[in-house]
Amino acid sequence: MLNPIGDDAAVWQPSRSHRSVVTTDALVENVHFRRDTMTLADAGWRAMVSNLSDLAAMGARPVLSTVALGVSPQTGDDDILDLYRGITAAASAYACEIAGGDLTRSPALAISITAIGEVRPARVKGRGGARAGDIAAVTGRLGASRAGLHLADHPNAIDGKLQEEAFQAHRRPRPRIAEGMWLAASEHVHAMMDVSDGLSTDLSRMCARSNCAAQIEAVPAAQSAQAMAQQRGESADEYALAGGEDYELLVAVSPRAFEHLSSRFAKRFGTPLFAVGRFREGSGLFARKGEREEPLTPTGWDHFA
Amino acid sequence: MLNPIGDDAAVWQPSRSHRSVVTTDALVENVHFRRDTMTLADAGWRAMVSNLSDLAAMGARPVLSTVALGVSPQTGDDDILDLYRGITAAASAYACEIAGGDLTRSPALAISITAIGEVRPARVKGRGGARAGDIAAVTGRLGASRAGLHLADHPNAIDGKLQEEAFQAHRRPRPRIAEGMWLAASEHVHAMMDVSDGLSTDLSRMCARSNCAAQIEAVPAAQSAQAMAQQRGESADEYALAGGEDYELLVAVSPRAFEHLSSRFAKRFGTPLFAVGRFREGSGLFARKGEREEPLTPTGWDHFA
- Strands of the sheet with B97-105, listed across from one edge: A10-12, B19-28, B110-119, B61-71, B97-105
Residue B180: pLDDT band by 50, 70, 90 thresholds?
very high
Q: Which residue has the higher pLDDT, B15 or A73?
A: A73
Domains in chain A, CATH or no CATH each: 19-122 (3.30.1330.10), 125-295 (3.90.650.10)
Task: For residue B70, give the nearest of A110, A114, A193 by CB distance.
Answer: A110
Q: Is A9 within 8 Å of B68 when comparing Cβ atoms?
A: no
Residues B211 and B213: their CA atoms lie apart, in Å, by 7
Residues A236 and A249: their CA atoms lie apart, in Å, by 19
Confidence (pLDDT) at B302: 54
pLDDT digits (tens, 9 = 90+) for B227-277: 999 999 999 999 999 888 899 999 999 999 999 999 999 999 999 999 999
* Amino acid in the structure at residue B174: R
Task: For residue B106, give the nearest of A6, A54, A108 by CB distance.
Answer: A108
Q: Is B107 within 8 Å of A108 when comparing Cβ atoms?
A: yes
Confidence (pLDDT) at A302: 54
pLDDT of B37 higher than 90: no
Residues A98 and B280: their CA atoms lie apart, in Å, by 33
d(CA A6, nearest CA chain B) in Å: 8
Residue A142 burial by CB count (10 A; 0-12/13-18/19+): exposed, middle or buried? buried
Q: What interface predicted TM-score (ipTM) does this complex get? A: 0.83
pLDDT of B176 higher than 60: yes
Contacts of A107 in chain B (CB under 8 A): 28, 30, 107-108
Q: Is B66 within 8 Å of A127 when comparing Cβ atoms?
A: no
User: How many degrees, rounded to 5, is the angle at CA A245 between CA A194 and CA A270?
Assistant: 65
SS3 A151: helix
pTM for this one?
0.88
Q: Is A26 within 8 Å of B193 when comparing Cβ atoms?
A: no
Residue B111: pLDDT band by 50, 70, 90 thresholds?
very high
Contacts of A128 in chain B (CB under 8 A): 6-7
Residues A211 and A190: their CA atoms lie apart, in Å, by 13
Residues A243 and A172: their CA atoms lie apart, in Å, by 16
Quote the DSSP letter at residue A3. Answer: P
pLDDT digits (tens, 9 = 90+) for B192-236: 999 988 999 999 999 999 999 999 999 999 999 999 999 999 999
Residue B305: pLDDT band by 50, 70, 90 thresholds?
very low
Confidence (pLDDT) at B145: 93
pLDDT digits (tens, 9 = 90+) for A85-139: 999 999 999 999 998 888 899 999 999 999 999 999 888 898 999 999 999 999 9
Q: For chain B, how far is it from start to end, CA to CA, in angstroms?
A: 42
Best to test chain B binding among A64, A74, A98, A112 (most B CBs inside 10 Å): A112
Write down the mean pLDDT value for chain B: 91
Beta strands in chain A (DSSP E): 10-12, 19-28, 61-71, 97-105, 110-119, 135-138, 189-194, 213-216, 249-253, 274-280, 284-289, 292-295
* Predicted confidence pLDDT, tens digits, chain A (305 residues): 344 456 788 888 777 788 889 999 999 999 888 888 889 999 999 999 999 999 999 999 999 999 999 999 989 999 999 999 999 999 999 999 998 888 899 999 999 999 999 999 888 898 999 999 999 999 999 999 999 999 888 888 898 899 999 999 999 999 999 999 999 999 999 999 999 889 999 999 999 999 999 999 999 999 999 999 999 999 999 999 988 889 999 999 999 999 999 999 999 999 999 999 999 999 999 987 777 888 888 776 554 44
**What's chain B's length in residues?**
305
d(CA B111, nearest CA chain A) in Å: 10
Residue among A287, A277, A131, A288 at smallest CA distance from A212: A131
Confidence (pLDDT) at A297: 81
Q: Which residue has the higher pLDDT, B18 or A27?
A: A27
Best to test chain A binding among B3, B7, B13, B67 (most A CBs inside 10 Å): B7
Quote the DSSP letter at residue A270. Answer: S
Confidence (pLDDT) at B3: 44
User: In chain B, whose CA is at the least distance from the CA of A27?
Assistant: B104
Best to test chain B binding among A1, A3, A8 (most B CBs inside 10 Å): A8
Q: Is B28 within 8 Å of A107 when comparing Cβ atoms?
A: yes
d(CA B197, nearest CA chain A) in Å: 12
Q: How many C-alpha atoms does A99 have within 13 Å on its Cβ side?
A: 28
Give the CA distances from residue A131 to residues A1, A186, A297, B94, B163, in Å, rounded to whole numbers and listed in that order: 40, 16, 21, 39, 60
Residues B266 and B264: their CA atoms lie apart, in Å, by 5
pLDDT digits (tens, 9 = 90+) for B43-54: 999 999 999 999
Residues B277 and B280: their CA atoms lie apart, in Å, by 10
Q: Which residue has the higher pLDDT, B85 or A35?
A: B85
d(CA A34, nearest CA chain B) in Å: 13
Q: Please give the share of chain B, as a percent, with pLDDT higher than 90.
A: 71
d(CA B116, nearest CA chain A) in Å: 9
Report CA dihedral (A250, A27, A223, A229) to the nearest 10 degrees: -110
- Strands of the sheet with A61-71, listed across from one edge: A97-105, A61-71, A110-119, A19-28, B10-12
